[in-house]
């Protein structure tokens, strides 16, 4: 049969498919619905919403941000009214605007609002909400909260109290996992009470060890220790973070499995003894034990291993009478041996990629189960359809330890949903404020396709087109990972980031040709700007008329690279030459607008998606292949004059302690007049419940201490000075 031509959208070129492939693609489109648009209910085809089924009338979402918005979307599809709760600083947040009702529950700190159980229960009573969906984080895994809701005849959209208690304590969860015949990691089965005891146990187990909070998850309260000193520090900081994040400072120690993969199994179980697994998610790309990029399925697992892991996950769910959506996390070594890590008794951040490949709405299933309905699905109904990738777009600086938080207002914000096969789960909009009080996540960017390569390619295009201004973000790191050789091959582990970036992330490392292409585009933009500065009478400046701009000699500098360029007009293009003869090295199309936040530019007929971040008369800041590059451009005269300019003296940073991020001062361990030695702890700063110890980088006497415990500090603020 002759090939069919199928036009995907205006953003795609026509592709020819053979008839069998066309059938498969048609099935894919039925699963995912309008893949070129925003979040669509059409992706959920495996178990569609039954409008005749009994449901809750009103649900309160005890959370904020993107996960609150995500739950509200499904509630709307199900015809359920929603109540949003919010702190004072979240009064105008997106989730508040989306809900049918909104209730103020306290001040900005989570302990005074989103963790205030009595306020949330009172909000349920005021609004008549019959159930609470906790999202993830905050009270989502609190058995105390679930019990209080039950006492007030309010349904908890999550597992039963027994499961919350059993899986919420890592010591008990490990014991229960063993009873369910689930493979477990060697370690100490008890609570570690002191730093000295932690060192003793670590020696007995054998370094490296993982020191982690008995309660909670999400990477908080977790430290890897390879020696006694690291074990002492790890115990101290894990204890403090656990107390701050979960109100429970108990710590345990277990063997750290070096270079494993982090693969988790999504499970669903109802209150009638039915349970199944929805395949796996690969979550190995992590920093500070927090996931950065996830994908489903895993490129590493085979069918037999997937089935074995799934069966063990279901066995654990049945052992604890689990009833809701939950996730059993495993560490998997190079031989496909897998070990139980923990069970998250809630909706996971990365749940959208499972939804994409299975067609199952996990929020809908949680609500149905909480209402008492049986699962309609059997294990044989759960497919693996295509491939999905999620990256967590954060307001943070990836150049600082792979991501220290950034705060500020989103002065410009455009999601790349026009790319096609893109889903953006976000809780922000242009004008939203990213504060120090909550997690700095901006969006969960999800792409899906028929295979892994297609999902990766769509993701790269989406990241290139994602416009975020006002805060520092981690898109440069995300994009670089997605195009890095080991990741593309699927050769990844939880040690991926330190292996690939041993000296930290430095931005996209351009090849010589890529560097020249980026610089040529900068020269083209500069040339067009010069044209705009000119005054013309009765002429169309877009046609590049004007003899004085037929050719322009300029000096270009990017970091330590400096060279001369000749820019001239061509036939419907601008020519850029880096050679003394002036012959064109690069022909750049003129069909892009300098006023657009994102533009596609053709250079020697090769297309790039770029962003012009900043523009001054002498420099441009371009986002090229995800990374921002500062390009300094001067005329020959300006270059000659600049040689006589004095350089601003640089601060001797060895004599000062500077805050690497905005945050709150948790402790100050020095005072004026003290002698400090290199490597000594001077203070601790906390942001988004993660603690950072700041050390002296030189030996000297403390001159001034500019902070007090409890104060809020800004990024780059001088905290302590040495003489």
Catalytic residues: 346
Distance CA 262, CA 330 (A): 6
Distance CA 300, CA 496 (A): 15
Distance CA 718, CA 310 (A): 51
197: Cβ contacts below 8 Å, ≥ 6 apart = none
Q: What single-letter DSSP state applies at residue 719?
A: E
Virtual torsion, Cα 401, 402, 405, 410, nearest 10 deg: 150
Whether the CA torsion 369, 373, 379, 380 is positive or negative: it is negative
Q: What is the DSSP string of 29-87?
A: HHHH--TTSSS-GGG--SS---TTS---SEEEE---HHHHHHHHHHHHHHT-EEEEEEE
Helix spans in 426-506 (H): 452-465, 475-483, 485-489, 496-500
Helix axes 195-205, 228-246, angle to 10 degrees: 120
Contact 446, 424 (CB under 8 A): yes
Q: Name the β-bridge partners of 447.
A: 389, 422
Structure tokens at 251: 């710590």
Q: Name the β-bridge partners of 705.
A: 720
Distance CA 406, CA 404 (A): 7
Distance CA 612, CA 624 (A): 9
Continuous segment of H or E residues that includes residue 7: none
Distance CA 55, CA 59 (A): 10
149: Cβ contacts below 8 Å, ≥ 6 apart = 121, 124, 132, 155, 156
């Amino acid at each position: 049969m002759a090939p069919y031509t199928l036009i995907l959208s205006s953003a795609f070129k026509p592709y020819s498919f053979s008839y069998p492939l066309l059938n498969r693609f048609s099935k894919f489109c039925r699963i995912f619905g309008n893949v070129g648009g925003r979040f669509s209910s059409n992706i959920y085809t495996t178990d569609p919403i039954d409008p005749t089924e009994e449901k809750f009338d009103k649900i309160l979402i005890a959370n904020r941000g993107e996960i609150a918005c995500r739950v509200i979307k499904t509630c709307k599809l199900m015809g359920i009214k929603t109540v949003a709760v919010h702190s004072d600083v979240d009064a105008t947040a997106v989730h508040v605007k989306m809900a049918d009702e909104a209730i103020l529950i306290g001040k900005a700190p989570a302990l005074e609002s989103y963790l205030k159980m009595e306020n949330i229960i009172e909000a349920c009573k005021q609004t008549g909400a019959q159930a609470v969906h906790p999202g993830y984080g905050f009270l989502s895994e609190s058995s105390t909260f679930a019990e209080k809701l039950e006492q007030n005849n309010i349904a908890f959209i999550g597992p039963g109290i027994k499961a919350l208690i059993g899986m919420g304590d890592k010591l008990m969860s490990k014991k229960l996992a063993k009873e369910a015949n689930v493979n477990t990691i060697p370690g100490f089965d008890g609570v570690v009470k002191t730093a000295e005891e932690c060192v003793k146990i670590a020696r007995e187990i054998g370094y490296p060890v993982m020191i982690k909070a008995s309660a909670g998850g999400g990477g908080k309260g977790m430290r890897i220790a390879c020696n006694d000193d690291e074990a002492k520090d790890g115990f101290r900081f894990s204890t403090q973070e656990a107390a701050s994040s979960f109100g429970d400072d108990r710590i345990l120690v277990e063997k750290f499995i070096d270079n494993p993969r982090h693969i988790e199994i999504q499970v669903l179980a109802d209150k009638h003894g039915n349970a199944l697994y929805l395949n796996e998610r690969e979550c190995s790309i992590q920093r500070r034990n927090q996931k950065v990029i996830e994908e489903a399925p895993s490129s590493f697992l085979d069918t037999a291993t997937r089935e074995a892991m799934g069966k063990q996950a279901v066995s654990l769910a049945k052992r604890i009478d689990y009833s809701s959506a939950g996730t059993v996390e495993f560490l998997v070594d190079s031989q496909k041996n897998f070990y139980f890590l923990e069970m998250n008794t809630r909706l996971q951040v990365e749940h959208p990629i499972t939804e994409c490949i299975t067609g199952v709405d996990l929020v809908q299933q949680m609500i149905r189960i909480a209402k008492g309905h049986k699962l309609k699905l059997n294990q044989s109904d759960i497919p693996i359809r295509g491939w999905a990738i999620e990256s967590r777009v954060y307001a943070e600086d990836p150049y600082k330890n792979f991501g220290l938080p950034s705060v500020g207002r989103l002065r410009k914000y455009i999601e790349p949903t026009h790319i096609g096969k893109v889903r953006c789960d976000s809780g922000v909009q242009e004008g939203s404020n990213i504060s120090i009080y909550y997690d700095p996540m901006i969006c969960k960017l999800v792409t899906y396709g028929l295979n892994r390569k297609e999902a990766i390619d769509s993701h790269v295009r989406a990241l290139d087109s994602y416009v975020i201004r006002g805060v520092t973000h981690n898109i440069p790191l995300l994009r670089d990972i997605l195009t890095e050789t080991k990741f593309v091959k699927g050769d990844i582990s939880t040690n991926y980031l330190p292996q690939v970036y041993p000296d930290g992330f430095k931005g996209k490392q351009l090849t010589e040709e890529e560097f020249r292409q980026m610089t040529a585009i900068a020269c083209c933009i500069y040339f067009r700007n010069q044209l705009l500065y000119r005054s013309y009478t009765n002429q169309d400046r877009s046609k590049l008329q004007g003899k004085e701009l037929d050719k322009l000699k300029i000096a270009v500098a990017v970091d330590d690279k400096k060279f001369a360029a000749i820019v001239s007009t061509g036939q419907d293009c601008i020519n850029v030459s880096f050679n003394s003869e002036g012959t064109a090295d690069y022909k750049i199309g003129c069909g892009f607008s300098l006023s657009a936040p994102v533009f596609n530019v053709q250079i020697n007929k090769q297309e790039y998606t770029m962003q012009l971040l900043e523009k001054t008369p002498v420099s441009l800041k371009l986002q090229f292949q995800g990374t921002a590059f500062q390009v300094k451009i001067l005329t020959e005269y300006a270059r000659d004059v600049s040689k006589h300019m004095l350089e601003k003296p640089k601060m001797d940073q060895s004599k000062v302690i500077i805050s690497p991020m905005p945050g709150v001062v948790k402790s100050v361990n020095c005072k004026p007049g003290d002698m400090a030695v290199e490597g000594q702890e001077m203070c601790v700063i906390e942001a988004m419940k993660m603690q950072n110890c700041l050390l002296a980088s030189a030996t000297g006497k403390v001159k001034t201490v500019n902070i007090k415990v409890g104060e809020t500090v800004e990024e780059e603020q001088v905290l302590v000075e040495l003489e």
